[in-house]
Amino acid sequence: MADLSTNFLGIQSPNPFWLASAPPTDKEVNVRRAFEAGWGGVVWKTLGEDPPVVNVNGPRYGALWGPDRRVIGFNNIELITDRPLQVNLDEIARVKRDFPDRAVVVSLMVPVNELAWRNMLTRVEDTGADGVELNFGCPHGMSERGMGSAVGQVPEYIQQVTEWCKTHTRLPVIVKLTPNITDVRFPARAARAGGADGISLINTINSVIGVDLDRMTMSPATDGWGSHGGYCGPAVKPIALNMVAEIARDPDTAGVPLSGIGGITTWRDAAEFIAMGCGTVQVCTAAMVYGFKIVQDLCSGLGNFMDDKGYRTLDDFRGRAVPTVKNWNQLNLNHVEKAVIHQDTCIQCGRCHVVCEDTSHQAIWATKDGKRHFEVNDAECVGCNLCVSICPVPGTITMRALQPGETDARTGRVVDGSYANWTTHPNNPMRSGCA
Ligand SMILES: Cc1cc2nc3c(=O)[nH]c(=O)nc-3n(C[C@H](O)[C@H](O)[C@H](O)COP(=O)(O)O)c2cc1C
Ligand code: SF4
Ligand code: SF4
């Protein structure tokens, strides 16, 4: 069986699955249950200064459901921990003592003030915790008070606070980034410049989950009013994965240890984040929706995948996908693909024909010899992948790359296997070599 153990910034854990800082890690009782279920580590729910913050006493969560009522997106207006600091610190110390082989990282958020950070770090060190995560990400409530994403949106603040933390603690410092920015490379570079040992991302995305059309209020609402929240769950995974990729391939941050967060629900999601360069992955919504025992499926699924592929350790495939992420202008414009419909599994629902007819390139015939039959017309197909995306039977439509020597029936050009991108394309007035 593959070895799932990780060493992230010197913090050991038996598997890469950490619970993200959130309700699942808010209390000793939860964290004990999580470790008993098999989680490799936790990032404790964000601690702040006393007196503790106060949460609303109304709905603080909202969901976006798929047609089968599975939660595909999750929204919250919860603040950081609302329990006294010393209560949390005592619990962290007890949990770490009883689970020495698990990672216990403590998330922190205090005002942008060196003394406040120093005091907090000293108290956290005394618990025996393995590391700290600086919460520069929460987009609601705390940001109005100048913390959370209010810090994460200003690279200079990120760098400054990270420097203070590196000065005042011997623990590894992970900087957790907000996705509510234009270009994630700038905050990531600031974290590195400040000396961060690692970066975790993403925190939640600004969101309003819906409108109650009977009451004409935003939803959920407390006493008739609502406030934007933070969005997470499966729907945010592509956004998180892109941000991880951007940091992993940016020359200024490449190689910085990454902890991937955002929509991780299955072992496959986790494997994708690891292939995109992450050393550990963090999970919140999936644990809140399915309970702690999902970690057992996550571990066995990831282990089976690694066994199948011949990967002995996570490092054997960590970051493997990063070199394949390029700017658009580097893509090979000479490469040609066509969709192929496999008649043996086609149920003749006709969806591919409708979408290609209405919104793509009218490249799927719906009849043959007067009978219902779906087949791709290579002379029109641009290889867009829309039909693959909407076909209800997995594997029934696949894409086939034309091989050198084959003629593209749409353009009449013979594929010659050469590479040419937009930077040299004759249609590009700015192409290299063009005066
Ligand atoms: C109810 C709730 C509370 C959260 N509280 C915190 C928090 O206190 N500190 C923090 O850094 N992130 C917090 N998060 C963000 C998560 O740690 C995580 O970054 C985000 O949910 C994305 O992961 P997911 O898609 O697996 O949920 C919270 C998320 C939720 C849903
Ligand atoms: S969408 Fe898929 S199953 Fe439906 S007709 Fe097209 S190929 Fe067949
Ligand atoms: S790949 Fe695009 S253009 Fe080609 S058949 Fe499918 S939907 Fe139509």
pLDDT tens-digit map of 290-300: 999 999 999 99
pLDDT tens-digit map of 224-252: 999 999 999 999 999 999 999 999 999 99
Closest ligand 3 atom, CA of 397? 6
Work out the percent of the chain whose per-residue pLDDT is above 70: 99
- Phi, psi values for residue 20, rounded to 5°: -75, 160
pLDDT tens-digit map of 362-411: 999 999 999 999 999 999 999 999 999 999 999 999 999 999 999 999 99
Residue 295: closest CA among 311, 310, 280: 280
Closest ligand 3 atom, CA of 364? 5
Q: Where are the alpha helices (DSSP H) in 169-316?
A: 185-193, 237-249, 267-275, 285-290, 294-309
CA 276-269-73 angle, to 5 degrees, is 120
Range scoring the smallest mean pLDDT among 53-62, 95-104, 188-197:
53-62
The residue whose CA has the least distance to atom 10 of ligand 1 is: 21
Alpha-carbon distance 119 to 222, whole Å?
Answer: 35
For residue 339, list its beta bridge partners: 399
Residues 6+ apart with CB under 8 A from 254: 248, 322
Instruction: Categorize the per-residue pLDDT at 434 as very low, low, confident or very high, splitting at 50, 70 and 90.
Output: low
CA dihedral over 416, 420, 424, 427, signed as positive or negative: positive
Alpha-carbon distance 258 to 404, whole Å?
Answer: 40
Which residue in the block uniquely carries the two structure tokens 């957790």? 176
* Ligand 1 centroid distance, CA of 88 (Å): 18
DSSP secondary structure code for residue 176 in this structure: E
Q: What pLDDT is attached to residue 187?
A: 97
Ligand 2 proximity of 350 Cβ (cutoff 6 Å): yes
User: What is the arithmetic mean of pLDDT over 296-305?
Assistant: 98
Work out the percent of the chain whose per-residue pLDDT is above 90: 93
- Do 316 and 353 touch, CB atoms closer than 8 A? no
Q: How many CB atoms lie within 10 A of CB 215?
A: 10
pLDDT tens-digit map of 251-287: 999 999 999 999 999 999 999 999 999 999 999 999 9
Higher-pLDDT residue of 249, 55: 249
pLDDT tens-digit map of 111-161: 889 999 999 999 999 999 999 999 998 888 777 778 888 888 999 999 999
* Ligand 3 centroid distance, CA of 106 (Å): 49
Q: What pLDDT is attached to residue 146?
A: 80
- Do 227 and 270 touch, CB atoms closer than 8 A? no
Q: What pLDDT is attached to residue 17?
A: 99
> Please, what is the average pLDDT of the chain?
96
* Ligand 1 centroid distance, CA of 431 (Å): 45
Strands 17-19 and 71-76: unpaired
Alpha-carbon distance 120 to 257, whole Å?
Answer: 24
pTM of the model: 0.96
Asked if residue 56 has pLDDT above 60, the reply is: yes
Q: What pLDDT is attached to residue 427?
A: 94
> Coil, strand or helix: which one is 35?
helix
Which of 341, 381, 400 has most ligand 3 atoms within 8 Å of its beta carbon, as the pocket-test mutant?
381
Alpha-carbon distance 90 to 126, whole Å?
Answer: 10
* Ligand 3 centroid distance, CA of 208 (Å): 34
Which of 17, 108, 284, 295 has most ligand 1 atoms within 8 Å of its beta carbon, as the pocket-test mutant?
284
- At 292, list the tokens: 């702690």
pLDDT tens-digit map of 22-37: 999 999 999 999 999 9
The residue whose CA has the least distance to atom 4 of ligand 2 is: 349
105 sits in which H/E element:
strand 103-108
Alpha-carbon distance 49 to 161, whole Å?
Answer: 16
Which residue in the block uniquely carries the two structure tokens 């992230």? 8
Alpha-carbon distance 120 to 255, whole Å?
Answer: 29
Which of 39, 107, 203, 264 has most ligand 1 atoms within 8 Å of its beta carbon, as the pocket-test mutant?
203
Which residue in the block uniquely carries the two structure tokens 């024909």? 353
- Do 220 and 62 touch, CB atoms closer than 8 A? yes
Q: What pLDDT is attached to residue 143?
A: 77
* Ligand 2 centroid distance, CA of 394 (Å): 10
391 is catalytic: no
Asked if residue 82 has pLDDT above 60, the reply is: yes
Q: What pLDDT is attached to residue 1?
A: 86
Q: Where are the beta strands (DSSP E) in 266-370?
A: 278-283, 337-341, 364-368
234: preceding bond cis by omega (within 30 degrees): no
Which residue in the block uniquely carries the two structure tokens 């799927």? 364
- Do 241 and 265 touch, CB atoms closer than 8 A? no
Domains of the chain listed by start with CATH number: 6-324 (3.20.20.70), 328-424 (3.30.70.20)
- Do 273 and 281 touch, CB atoms closer than 8 A? yes
DSSP secondary structure code for residue 24 in this structure: G
Q: What pLDDT is attached to residue 140?
A: 80
DSSP string, 383-404: ---HHHHH-SSTTSEEEEEPPT
- At 349, list the tokens: 């629902």
Alpha-carbon distance 10 to 108, whole Å?
Answer: 20
Q: How many CB atoms lie within 10 A of CB 139?
A: 24
Instruction: Categorize the per-residue pLDDT at 435 as very low, low, confident or very high, splitting at 50, 70 and 90.
Output: low
When computed from its CA atoms, the radius of gyration of the chain, rounded to whole angstroms, is 25
